[in-house]
Chains A and B, each alone.
Chain A
C-alpha cells in the first residue's frame, strides 16, 4: 500500500449520494415564484432572408413579451472563436434551427401556442450542403466572401521524392458522419434579477466564465452585473461549450423583471447545440517492401455547418494527428474547415482526433495486405517510440510505450499460431 491520501484509494464522488437519491438539481429542477416560460421560434429553412410578424402572437392572452433581434440591448452576436452566431437572427437564416424569436409567456403551453401565431415569410436563397462544393469560388456564401474558415498546413521532408522510393502506394477517400452528443439532460436554464440589479443565469454549461462575457456583450451590461450559476450538468461531451439559451433567458429576465425559464425538448436540443464535424479525408500513403512508411499526403475537409464554433481547433487537431501514431519522414497535410448550410459543428470528445483513425488505420491495413504482412507487424514497424519525431517536428522524449501495448493486445487477441510477429 502507498502512503498517498487519495491515489490508489476508492473514493466516493462528492456529488454521488445526492445523485443516487434523485436530489441533485439540474436546471430543469429549479422553480421560482412568479416564473415565466420561454419558447424559441427556429428557422425551418437552411438559407433564406426572412420577414417576421409577431403582431397576432403578441395579442394572445398570457403572452408577456416576444423577443426578436430588435429587443437586443447589446451586440446581436456570440461565438467562441468568431462572433458569427446571432442571438436572434436579424434578416437571414443560415441553417434549419437558427433562433429567430423567443416567446415569453405565463405557461409553457401559452408560449408554444403563441409561437405558432408568429408569421415568418422566407425568401429562399441558394444553399450549399457539401463542403467540397462550398469551397468553390462561385458557391453560395454563408457569411462573408469565403466559406473557408481555416486552412492548416503541415509539411515535413519531401513527399514527391518520398513517393518515388515507395514499393506500394495506397490512395483512398474516407468520410465520417455528423454525430450528436445526445447528452441525457436537454438544455434548460432559468434567469432572474437580484435586488441589486445583478442578472443571474442558471444553466448547465461547460464554459461559465466565457458565457458571462458573451451574455454581458449581448445585453450591453458590464460583466460584473452578470452572475452565472452552473448547477448539475447532465452530460455535455463538448456540446455545452457554445451558448444556446443563456442570452435569450437573460434578456427575457432583464426586460420583464421576472424569472424566465426554458426547457428544450429532445428535438430542440438536437437543433440547438453543435455536432461532431464530419470529415472528408483523401489519403495517399506509401511504404517500402518491408512495410516501413515513407510518405503521406492527406487532404482533410471538415464541414463546420453554418457556424465556426471550435472548427479551427478541431481541424488543426485533425491535421496534427493525420499520420496516426506513426513515424513518417515525408508528410504533406492540408486540413480545412468550411462553412455550409448544415447544422453547425464544434467540440465533441476528441476534438477532431477521433475521426482520423477511420482513414489512417484503414490505410495501414490495406498496405499490410498488399505487402503480405500482418496488420500487427506494420504497426510495430512504424509506431512512435521514445525519441520518435512526429510530423509537426515534436521529439517524443517522454515514455511512449505504444509498441509494448500493441504486443500485449495482439497476444490477447490472437492465438500464438496466428502470430506473425513477436
Chain B
C-alpha cells in the first residue's frame, strides 16, 4: 500500500492505495466518479478520458500513483444540474448524444481543446476528439456541437469584455 495526495474537481484527497491500482479504478471504485467510463482498458476508445493538469489522458492507462500531487477534472467537475457548461448544452441541443457512453470523454476532450484554442476549425475539432470513439452517432453532430459551443464561448467572452 502507498499514500497519495491528489485533487479531483477542486477537492483534495489523501488516500492509501494499492500500488498497482489504475487511475480509472481509483476514480470510479474508490471516489465514486462513475462518469469516467471504461470501454477498452487499453487506451483506444477514450471513454475513460479525464483532464490531468490541463491535458487529456486515458485514465485506464495511468496508475493512480502517477496522479500524485496533480489536479484532475472528471465529467462530474463540468457544469451543474441547473447550469450546464456550454459544451454540454450544445451536445444536448444538437442531438450529439445517443447511448451516451462516450459522451463524458468527448465533453472533456472538447473542454481541453476549447480551453487552449478559442476558435478551432472543424479539422482541429476532429483531431481533438480523434482519441474518442463513438459507435452510435457518426461524429458529425458531435463536431457540430463543439463548433457551436466554441461560438457561444467566444460570444460570452466578448460580452464580458464589453462589460469591463
Whether, in the assembled complex, A415 has its beta carbon less than 8 Å from a beta carbon of chain B, the answer is no
Check B40 against A24 for contact (C-beta < 8 Å). Answer: no
Check B97 against A16 for contact (C-beta < 8 Å). Answer: yes
CA distance A20 to B45 in the complex (A): 17
Instruction: Write the nearest CB–CB distance from B121 to chain A, whole angstroms.
Output: 24
CA distance A263 to B100 in the complex (A): 18
Specify which chain A residues have a CB less than 8 angstroms from the CB of B98 in the assembled complex.
Answer: 235
Check B99 against A234 for contact (C-beta < 8 Å). Answer: yes
Instruction: Write the nearest CB–CB distance from A203 to chain B, whole angstroms.
Output: 15
Q: Which of B41, B47, B78 contacts A184 (CB 8 A)?
A: B47
The interface bits of chain A over 24-61 (1 if a CB of B lies within 8 angstroms of the residue's CB, else 0) are 11101101000000000000000000000000000000
Whether, in the assembled complex, B79 has its beta carbon less than 8 Å from a beta carbon of chain A, the answer is yes
Instruction: Write the nearest CB–CB distance from B134 to chain A, whole angstroms.
Output: 7
Check A186 against B75 for contact (C-beta < 8 Å). Answer: no
Specify which chain A residues have a CB less than 8 angstroms from the CB of B28 in the assembled complex.
Answer: 29
CA distance A28 to B24 in the complex (A): 13
Count of chain B residues with a beta carbon within 8 Å of a chain A beta carbon: 39
Check A184 against B81 for contact (C-beta < 8 Å). Answer: no
CA distance A31 to B34 in the complex (A): 10
Size class of A's contact patch?
Answer: 20 to 34
Instruction: Write the nearest CB–CB distance from B16 to chain A, whole angstroms.
Output: 16
Check A183 against B88 for contact (C-beta < 8 Å). Answer: no
Specify which chain A residues have a CB less than 8 angstroms from the CB of B136 in the assembled complex.
Answer: 235
Instruction: Write the nearest CB–CB distance from A41 to chain B, whole angstroms.
Output: 19
Most chain A CB within a 10 A radius of its CB, from B28, B74, B81, B99: B99
Check A234 against B34 for contact (C-beta < 8 Å). Answer: no
Known: A12-B92, A184-B134, A184-B135. A24 touches B100 (CB 8 A): yes
Check A184 against B39 for contact (C-beta < 8 Å). Answer: yes
Check A185 against B107 for contact (C-beta < 8 Å). Answer: no
CA distance A236 to B99 in the complex (A): 9
Known: A182-B135, A235-B136, A237-B135. A20 touches B88 (CB 8 A): yes
Chain A residue, CB-CB nearest to B33: A22
In order of increasing CB-CB distance, the 6 nearest A-B pairs are A22-B35, A22-B75, A19-B100, A234-B101, A29-B34, A20-B88
